Structure 1
C-alpha cells in the first residue's frame, strides 16, 4: 500500500467526498442528491477562502478520506488564531487502519504552521469510539457544544 497523500480537494474529488458524507447516519438522510448545485457552490466558497481548506486524502489514486480545515481569528488568547477540524471521514472499507490518525496529525501540523494557539473539533455526542480516538491523539473534552438548525 502506498503512502497517504493529503491535499486540497478539487471538483473532481467531489463525488467521492459526497459519497463519504452520505454514509453519515447522524442524523439520517441529511445529505441531498450529489448533483445538487449547492454542493458546488459550497466547494467554490471554500476554495476561494484562504482560511478554509477542503482536504482529500488519497491512497493508491483513490480518494479515501476527507476533512475540512478552517482557520479562525479571535480576540481571546491575546488575538490568537485557532484551527477547526470538521467533517472527518474515511471510506468504510479502510477504517481501522490509522488513516484518520494520519489525517488529524497532519491537520494539527497545518495549524501549527499557521501559528494557531489551539485546534478544536466537534464530534456527535453518540460517537463514543470517535471520542476515544480523539482523546488518544491528545484532544480533551473541554466544552459543551450546541447547535440551532435554522432550516431543513
Structure 2
C-alpha cells in the first residue's frame, strides 16, 4: 500500500507545482510553466510562505509530488467570530488521477481545518469542471451559495 506524506511546499517544488496547475483543460489556458519560471509565481509563493494564514500543501510518495492544494484560514465576525478554511488550487498529477489521492488530500485538509478551529471548510470550483464538482459533492460539500467573481484585468 502506497504511503502518502503531506507537507508544506518548498521553493524547489515550485516548478513542478506550476506544471501540475497547467496540466488540465483550464490550466493550460491560464498557466505558464517552463524555464525560467515567471516571476509572478515566485512572488506568490513567497507571499503564501510569509502569511501565517496561508498554507500551500503537497502530497508526495517516494519523493514524487502527487497533488497539491492551498488553504487560507480566514477569521469572520459571523458565526460568533469563527474561522473558515478556504481551499483552492487543488490538483492531482494527471498520471495519478483516479487513484484516491484527491480524497486523501481533502481528508488531510479537513483535519487541518479542525486543528485550526475552523467552523467551515469552503471552496469554489469553476463550473467548467463538472468532474471536480461531483468529486466535492461526494466528499460532502454542498452548493449552498452562489459564488461570484469580478475580474479586474
Instruction: Please indicate the TM-score interval, normalised by the length of the shorter structure.
Output: over 0.9
For 2:13 and 2:6, the matched residues in 1 are separated by 12
User: For residues 14-68 of structure 1, what are the alpha-carbon distances to aligned partners after superposition, in whole Å with 9 as ceiling and x for unaligned?
Assistant: 1110001111322652113541111111101000011000011111211111100
State the TM-score, normalized to the length of structure 1.
0.94
What corresponds to 1:117 in structure 2?
119
- Structure 2: 5+ residue stretches without partners: none
Instruction: Check if 1:88 corresponds to 2:90.
Output: yes
Aligned twin of 2:137: 135
How large is the RMSD of aligned CA atoms in angstroms? 1.3
Aligned to 1:5: 5
Residue 99 of structure 1 corresponds to which residue in structure 2? 101
Distance 2:57 2:73 in 1: 14
- Mapped to 1, the partners of 2:20 and 2:28 lie a distance apart of 14
> In structure 2, what is the Cα distance between the partners aligned to 1:27 and 1:55?
18
Residue aligning to 2:30: 30
Aligned length: 151
Q: Matched residues in 2 for 1:33 and 1:69: separation?
A: 22
TM, length-normalised to structure 2: 0.93
Give yes or no for the alignment of 1:108 onto 2:119: no
The alpha-carbon distance between structure 1 residues 26 and 45, as it changes in their structure 2 partners (threshold 3 A), is same
- Where does the alignment leave 5 or more consecutive residues of structure 1 unmatched? none
C-alpha distance in 1 between matches for 2:65 and 2:33: 19
Partner residue in 2 for 1:59:
61
